[in-house]
Amino acid sequence: MSLSKLFCDKTSGVAAKRERRKEARPGELLDAALDLFVEKGFAATRAEEVAARAGVSKGTLFLYFQSKEELFKAVVRENISGRFTEWRAELDAFEGTSPELLAYCMNSWWERVGATRASGITKLMMSEAKNFPDLAAFYQQEVIQPGQALIRCILQRGIDRGEFRPMDLNYAVYLVIAPMIFLILSRHSAGICLSKEADLDPKQYIATQVDAILNGIGAPAASAAQPTRKTA
């Protein structure tokens, strides 16, 4: 092999490696940002820290994201809000009963979000939203509203099929949201919501919450209906 060909091969290999590295950078920056936002909060996280953890310069970070606020929005879209289309498609394709669908969705949320680093975003917003109203409005539009709409669809499905009793859906959605928020706080607040003796099993906790919710909103079974009184 000639020296010129060897040099060209090495050069092209380095160029290809750099190109692959360049394509991976946005994802690496989002991973680093998620870690730091969850660890330190939004206000305390500095752009140079994110860049350093991702192994790039601060200037490189701003080539992809114009500000720390835009970086945070990208993290939310990558880990939560960008998945609502997929989740809605699953809901529409579900063939089981509405009680089964509710249990499936609560367990899937835990596996895909609650048990991951991404659940720390909710804790972050709860503690810092007041100081960053623009980010709070973004989170409301991108996460809270679509999430509540998804839960409303599940509950409405159950009502329409006679599996759930009629209820005020504006408030009923919080029956589903509240226990999941508790899990997040327990996960990201060093168990401060629990007694020292408690050993919370998320799966068992969700199963118990689903049982309690369904016994509260389930439509009365036909066998449990009051018999009609016969007149003489």
Tokens representing residue 15 in the block: 């160029």
Q: Which domain holds residue 168?
A: 80-220
Distance of alpha carbon 42 from alpha carbon 129, whole angstroms? 10
Q: Is the pLDDT confidence value at 85 over 70?
A: yes
| Most confident option among 6-15, 196-205, 222-231 | 196-205
For the chain, how big is the Rg over CA atoms in Å?
Answer: 24
CB 206 within 8 A of CB 110: yes
**Same domain? 112 vs 199:** yes
Judged by average pLDDT, the poorest of 11-25, 86-100, 169-183 is 11-25
Give the mean pLDDT of 7-21: 48
- The closest of 86, 71, 80, 70 to 28, measured between CA atoms, is 71
What is the pLDDT at residue 199?
A: 72
Total structural domains in the chain? Answer: 2
Answer yes or no: is 1 within a domain: no
The better pLDDT of the pair 61, 230 is held by: 61
Q: Is the pLDDT confidence value at 24 over 60?
A: no
**Same domain? 121 vs 197:** yes
Answer yes or no: is 227 within a domain: no
Judged by average pLDDT, the poorest of 41-55, 63-77, 178-192 is 178-192
pTM listed for this prediction:
0.79
- Please provide the DSSP assignment of the chain as one string: --HHHHHHHHHHHHHHHHHHHHHHHHHHHHHHHHHHHHHH-TTT--HHHHHHHHTS-HHHHHHH-SSHHHHHHHHHHHHTGGGHHHHHHHHHH--S-HHHHHHHHHHHHIIIIITSGGGHHHHHHHHHGGG-HHHHHHHIIIIIHHHHHHHHHHHHHHHHTTSB----HHHHHHHHHHHHHHHHHHHHTTTTTS-TT----HHHHHHHHHHHHHHHHBPPPGGGSPPPPPP-
Using one digit for the tens of pLDDT, what is the confidence trace for 118-127? 999 999 999 9
What is the pLDDT at residue 193?
A: 57
- Torsion sign, CA atoms 83, 38, 74, 134: positive
Kindly indicate the confidence band of residue 154, based on its pLDDT and cuts at 50, 70 and 90.
very high
**Same domain? 118 vs 54:** no
- The closest of 35, 121, 202 to 129, measured between CA atoms, is 121
Average pLDDT score, the chain: 85
What is the pLDDT at residue 225?
A: 38
What is the pLDDT at residue 25?
A: 83
**Same domain? 38 vs 62:** yes
Domain boundary among 57, 76, 95: 76
Kindly indicate the confidence band of residue 6, based on its pLDDT and cuts at 50, 70 and 90.
low
Answer yes or no: is 44 within a domain: yes
Answer yes or no: is 229 within a domain: no
Kindly indicate the confidence band of residue 187, based on its pLDDT and cuts at 50, 70 and 90.
confident
Burial (CB < 10 A; 0-12, 13-18, 19+), residue 75, is buried
Domain boundary among 22, 52, 76: 76
Answer yes or no: is 212 within a domain: yes
**Same domain? 132 vs 190:** yes
The length of the chain, given as a count of residues? 232
What is the pLDDT at residue 198?
A: 60
What is the pLDDT at residue 223?
A: 35
**Same domain? 135 vs 214:** yes
Answer yes or no: is 62 within a domain: yes
What is the pLDDT at residue 1?
A: 61
**Same domain? 166 vs 95:** yes
CATH number at residue 201: 1.10.357.10
Kindly indicate the confidence band of residue 2, based on its pLDDT and cuts at 50, 70 and 90.
low
